[in-house]
Structure 1
Amino acid sequence: MSKILLILHVLAAVIAVGPVTVAGSMFPAAVRRAAAAPDKPESAAAVRLLHRICRVYAGVGLAVPVFGFATASSMHVLGSAWLIVSIVLTGVAAVVLALLVLPAQEVAIAGLNGSDADAATVAAQIRRLAMLTGTFNLLWATVTILMIVRPGSSTGA
């Protein structure tokens, strides 16, 4: 049963977190392009699509910790330090995504729809969004490394 849960956990992580990291990383550049070419509706449509990908897959990503807890429980490693650190980092990543990245993307989309903000303000918002997205991606990369290396594990990995 542990193997099946681990497979589901890894698949959920790849299928859910992967699109968020890619679409989130593409978003700031897409906003810059759309802001630079307000006469091209396809640019704004691309920005909205990237945001939707991030939002939908963030919801799908809830399966990752669910399968993760089930896997850890079946493997009797819930008290392992590497797992506790991974859980905390996953929680921080979720907070960064839900409370910082997605709302900042929504602000950027609203800005494309006729905001009176000056170019310097928009540029600063886009830089902040890129930094937040990078933080989210680094948190997930760290969790992935911890899941593979598992410090102190008996597997020798």
Structure 2
Amino acid sequence: MTKFLLSVHVIAAIVAIGPVTVAASMFPATARRALAGADAGRDLAVLRSLHRICRVYAAVGIVVPVFGFATASSLGVLGDAWLLVSIALTAVAAAVLALLVLPRQQRLLTAAADTGRPQPGTGGRAPARLAMYTGTFNLLWAVVTVLMIVRPGSTTGV
């Protein structure tokens, strides 16, 4: 059963978190172009798609910690420091996505859809700030991934 839980956990991480990191990373540059108005129609459609990908796969991503907890429980490692740090970083990454990345994407999407009336907080710095928060989200997931692979103090000898 542990192998099944671990397999679902890893597949869910790849399928759910991967698209969010890619789509979220592409969003700020596309928003900059859309706000500049060069090819607003095309860029707006791309922004809508990227934001939808981030929202949907963020919701699907809930499967990752659920199966992660189940796997950790079956392995008997729920109290290990590396896992506790991973859980904390995962919670921070989820908060960054839900509280910083997705709302800012929505504001930039609204501003790009209505370029005649600029929205508050969507000036020249807004895409750069979004890129910073997105980078933070991606970095947190990279650290969690490394912790999952390395598992400090594990008995595997690797």
Please give the TM-score of this superposition, normalised by the length of structure 1: 0.95
Cα drift, residue 33 of structure 1? 1.4
User: Which residue identity does 1:6 align to in structure 2?
Assistant: L
User: Which residue identity does 1:148 align to in structure 2?
Assistant: I
Alpha carbons 2:25, 2:131 under 8 Å: kept: yes
Q: Distance in 2 between matches of 1:22 and 1:112?
A: 20
Matches within 5 A, 1:39-58: 40-58=40-58
- Closer/same/farther in 2, CA of residues 33 and 75 from structure 1, 3 Å limit: same
2:134 corresponds to which residue? 133
Alpha carbons 2:34, 2:40 under 8 Å: kept: yes
2:67 corresponds to which residue? 67
Cα drift, residue 32 of structure 1? 1.1
Specify every segment of 5 or more residues in structure 2 that has no aligned partner in the other structure, as ranges: none
Q: How many positions carry a matched residue from both structures?
A: 156
SS at match of 1:122: coil
Alpha carbons 2:24, 2:134 under 8 Å: kept: yes
Q: Distance in 2 between matches of 1:59 and 1:122?
A: 29
Q: Distance in 2 between matches of 1:34 and 1:49?
A: 13
User: Which residue identity does 2:135 align to in structure 1?
Assistant: G
Name the % identity: 63
Q: Distance in 2 between matches of 1:155 and 1:39?
A: 54
Specify every segment of 5 or more residues in structure 1 that has no aligned partner in the other structure, as ranges: none
Please give the TM-score of this superposition, normalised by the length of structure 2: 0.94
Q: Distance in 1 between matches of 2:66 and 2:24?
A: 23
**1:150 matches 2:142:** no
Matches within 5 A, 1:1-157: 1-37=1-37, 40-114=40-114, 116-117=117-118, 122-157=123-158
Once superposed, which parts of structure 1, at least 4 consecutive aligned residues long, lie more than 3 Å away?
115-118
